[in-house]
Amino acid sequence: SPPAATICGNAFLEPGEECDCGTVEECKNPCCNATTCQLNAGAQCAEGECCHKCQLKPTGSICRPRAGDCDLAEYCTGLSAACPADAFTQNGRLCNRGRGYCYNGQCPSRQDHCKRLWGPGEIL
């Protein structure tokens, strides 16, 4: 079946739209033309962690700070308003001052890991 028609002004970004901030009455985004769903002249972006005042943040701007021993900070690319996917340190890296090992962005202690595997009554 053919794709559904794009509807400008419904606050959903659809193919062919650069932005969609809702109806003309609803739109409060200075970067977006609510009538055409295109960026206003001079605007590079309308929203996103790497968009500031209608301009893409420079390459290397932090868009998501590090959130613990096993997390990595994410940085704007300078090419997109979206922050890159959340990334983590390598599994098995020591964390929490040597009391745990990184696993998928978390730092479970050996005790926590044991409880998860064998139940809350078990002790390492």
The CB density around residue 87, as the number of other CB atoms within 10 Å, is 11
Residue 100 three-state SS = strand
Residue 75 sits at φ, ψ, to 5 deg, of -125, 145
From the centroid of its chain, how far is CA 92?
25
Annotate 54-77 with b (16+ C-beta within 10 A) or e (fewer): bebbeeeeebbeeeebbbeebbbb
Specify the length of the chain in residues: 124
For position 6, what pLDDT does the model report? Answer: 86
**Kind and range of the H or E element at 114?**
helix 110-118
The per-residue pLDDT for 122 is 63
pLDDT in tens, the chain (124 residues): 545 678 999 999 999 999 999 999 999 999 999 999 999 999 999 999 999 999 999 999 999 999 999 999 999 999 999 999 999 999 999 999 998 999 999 998 777 767 777 777 766 5
Structural domains of the chain in order of their starting residue, each with its CATH number: 1-46 (no CATH), 48-87 (4.10.70.10), 89-124 (no CATH)
Pairing state between β 38-39 and 51-52: unpaired
pLDDT of amino acid 97:
93
Quick one: pLDDT at residue 121?
72
- What is the pLDDT at residue 123? 62
